[in-house]
Structures are given as C-alpha cells and as structure tokens.
Amino acid sequence: MIPALLSNYAPADLSFEKGDGPYLYGNDGRRYLDFAAGIAVSSLGHAHPRLVAALNDQASKVWHVSNLFRIPGQEELAQKLVDATFADAVYFCNSGAEANECALKMVRKYFSDQGQPQKYRVLAFEGSFHGRTLATIAAAGQDKLLDGFGPVMDGFDHIAVGDIDAVKAAISDETAAILIEPVMGEGGIRVVEPAFLRELRKLCDEQDLLLVFDEIQTGMGRTGKLFAYEHADMAPDIMTSAKALGGGFPVGACLAVEKVAKAMTVGSHGSTYGGNPMAMAVAGAVVDVMTEDGFLDHVVEMGNHLKQGLAGIVDRHPDVVEELRGIGLHIGLKCKNENSLLLSKLMEHGVLAAKGGDNVVRLLPPLIIEDAQISELIAALDEACTELENG
C-alpha cells in the first residue's frame, strides 16, 4: 500500500503547532527561527496581528462568490498595486504559476490582436524557475522539472543570463517576449545585473517585444524595494507576483501596462477562486503594511546587517561556505559540500532555511526580522559550520 498522501514531496519529519513573528513552534517542543518563511511567502512573519484581523473580519462576512460578481476587494487591491507600480491593470489568481500562465497567455493574445499570431515564442533563461504547470516548466527549461512530463510545450528558447549578444542572436520573427527573474531564486539566488535588465528593456523596445518579469519571489519588499525592477531604474510590460503578496494566504497577480492588458477581454481568461474576498482582504493588508513609511527602509537595514554577519561566516568557514549572494533579505550561501548538510545542521540548531539550486542554502527571513534574530541566526550558523568542519 502506498501512503494516502501523494509522495511528491520529501518533507522533514517536523510539523508546527503555532507561529509568532519570525518563530515557529514545533511538535517536538522546540522553537525554530524561521529563515525559510515558507519559501519567501510568510513575508510579515507568523500570526501578524493586522493580517489575522483582516482575515477574521472577512471570514465573518463573505468567503467566496466567484468572479460572476464584483468583488470590491479586488478593485481596491488592484488600485493599490497600480498606484505603487508601473502597471495599469491587475489580474488576480491563486499562485505564482497561475500568474505566469496568465502572463504567457497575455503575450500571445496581445500579438494575436495585433495581427501577428506568428509571434508566440518566449526567450527565457537557463537556470530559471517559473512554476510547476506544463507551460511554466517549459518556460524554465530545466531538465529536472521536465523529466517525465514530455512532450515539452513548444514556444520557449533558452539562453544564458547576462549574455546580451546571445539574446540578440536568439531573436527570430516568431519571438514575442523575454521572460526573466531579476533575481534567480530557486536557481541559486543569482542576482541579474541591472545593466543587463536595462539592455533587455532597450532590446524589447527596438524589436517590438514584450518584457516580462517574474517577481514571484523577489516581489513585495524582499529586495528592499517593493519590486526588484525598481533597482534597475526601468520597468517591464508585464510582471507576476505571488508568495509574499498574501503573507501566507494563497494569492497571485499578473500586472500589465495598458496596451497589453487591453488584450485580455471578457472570456479570454479566468479563475474560479482567483481574487476571492479572503485573499483580497489579506493581500490588501500586506500591501498596506509594506507601503507604510519606513517599512522598506527596515528591510534594507536588516539586509545590510545580515550580509555583514554572513560575510564573517564566509571568512571564518571557507571550507563550508564559499560564496555569499543576494540583495536585501533575499540571500543565498553557496556551499562547498552538499547544501542539505548545512540545512540539517541549522535545523539541529533551531534555524529553518530553504534549499536552492547551484548548491545554495537560501536565507529568506520574514521582512519584519530584527537585529536580535539576525544575531541568533549568525550564532547558529557559526556553530553549524564548525560542526561540519569537525566532521
């Protein structure tokens, strides 16, 4: 007999009874410092009072009506996101993969409406991650995601990030868009140079292509800006968001400029649950908190403190950690040995972190993290590295 629960995950033998700010309390009686944050989802920590209040208030009113009717929370949250970004319109869904699915459909629909349906291919980058649907695993192009799920959906070409000449050479008459993560999170916290992003913007303008940013992991404050594109002093045509947007409640969003958004007419796309009142209430509270004066300044300050501490770890333990990567509170430690060894040691010392590609340990704390918890992380990491060095 196989387990009743599908065996597509390999979770640690640990569950949690409650959370409070940056801490989780395990069923083993221990307290854990959460530097995984549900893979960059629990952006305001656990049981944030304003999110709890927003959820409880909405739960006592209306949970779900579907998009057959107007949902005031959608209109309010869309306006908040439009006011805070480059975008002119927003579509809400349930996850990052759905947000990227919308973005990819939007690209095709835009060019079809322009009388250019032959333009449907998307240039994407090696080592990227865009979700787990058939379209988004094809967009990422990683063998480990595609294995067993062929034939691969047509329409994607992959090049190395940072090589603008390779991008130019890969453009054909069928190319419609360029899709990129400003920081390749699952791919090992590889920060894309702002100059390269600006070159992509220029190329898209010259070649009549759409520029699509996947900000599902970088979005909503994690890099010290509300969205990472702001670091490059430019903007995409389409951008996807999820994870931190809901602070733990499932929600995704696809944002677009007017010329592209207008292509998505009535009946062209949809979601039964997307943008339901519960998700809108929580995400609205998240946006309110993150757009208050000083919130992003705190992220930048804590990010700097964290990187200073981690730089010392790299200096003291070069046989365990060989490189520090990242921006803001979106940090990666490239390991010398298998990254799961450091993750296990950190858990022994009461710290949770996340595994990443390129043998990286991802440190993704809640954005409300304080100096005291950063010191706690550094002390635990120091001990974990020492124990790994000593075998």
Question: At 104, which helix (H) or strand (E)?
Answer: helix 96-113
- The verdict on whether 111 is a catalytic residue reads no
The whole-angstrom separation of Cα 121 and Cα 124 is 10
- The verdict on whether 18 is a catalytic residue reads no
The strand pair at 238-241 and 210-214 is best described as parallel
Q: What are phi and psi of 104, to 5 degrees?
A: -70, -40
> Are 277 and 123 within 8 A, CB to CB?
no
Q: Tell me the residue type at 286.
A: V
| 217 annotated ligand-binding residue | yes
Q: Is 124 helix (H, G, I), strand (E, B) or coil?
A: strand
**CA trace torsion 83, 87, 196, 203 (10° rounding):** -140
Tokens at 230, concatenated: 């702001």
Buried b (16+ CB within 10 A) or exposed e, 3-13: eeeeeeeeeee
Residue tagged active-site, from 111, 129, 213, 249: 129
Residue tagged active-site, from 225, 243, 307, 345: 243
| 129 annotated ligand-binding residue | yes
The whole-angstrom separation of Cα 133 and Cα 101 is 8
The strand pair at 156-159 and 121-125 is best described as parallel
DSSP string, 146-161: HTTSPSPPS-EEEE-T
Q: How far apart are the first and last CA of the chain?
A: 38
Instruction: Residue 22: name the closest of 51, 53, 49, 44 by CA.
Output: 44
| 389 annotated ligand-binding residue | no
| 97 annotated ligand-binding residue | yes
Tokens at 127, concatenated: 């080592």
- The verdict on whether 243 is a catalytic residue reads yes
| 358 annotated ligand-binding residue | no
Residue tagged active-site, from 92, 109, 156, 214: 214
Instruction: Residue 299: name the closest of 220, 214, 381, 217 by CA.
Output: 220
| 156 annotated ligand-binding residue | no
**Residue ranges at the known binding site for pyridoxal 5'-phosphate:** 96-97, 129, 214-217, 272
Instruction: Provide the annotated active-site residues.
Output: 129, 214, 243
**Residue ranges at the known binding site for N(2)-acetyl-L-ornithine:** 132, 271
**Residue ranges at the known binding site:** 96-97, 129, 132, 214-217, 271-272
